[in-house]
Amino acid sequence: MMPLDMLRAGDWAEVEEVTGLPAWVGRLAELGIRQGCRVQVVQPGSPCLLNVAGCKLCLRGEDSAQILVRPVSA
């Protein structure tokens, strides 16, 4: 496992765990980021732009470091 913010543009990953306050974890789940989902990094850094189930999602600052993923092939 590794933090999402360590991936490069174009990389795909499966979410293993989302850490943080329960309200934050719940909000990300509402947006589609939960254990078992696949995400693609469109733009790394801050802001980090993700492809989640065909939708674009932007995370700022340290937010992407709280998402632990396992890299997978497309």
In the chain the domains, ranked by start, together with CATH numbers, are: 2-72 (2.30.30.90)
pLDDT of residue 74: 67
**Gap between the Cα atoms of 31 and 26, Å rounded:** 9
Span 59-66, mean pLDDT? 89
Average of per-residue pLDDT across 46-52: 94
Band the pLDDT of 61: cuts 50, 70, 90: confident
Contacts of residue 14, Cβ cutoff 8 Å, sequence gap at least 6: 36, 37, 38, 39, 69, 70, 72
Q: Is 40 exposed, middle or buried (0-12, 13-18, 19+ CB in 10 A)?
A: middle
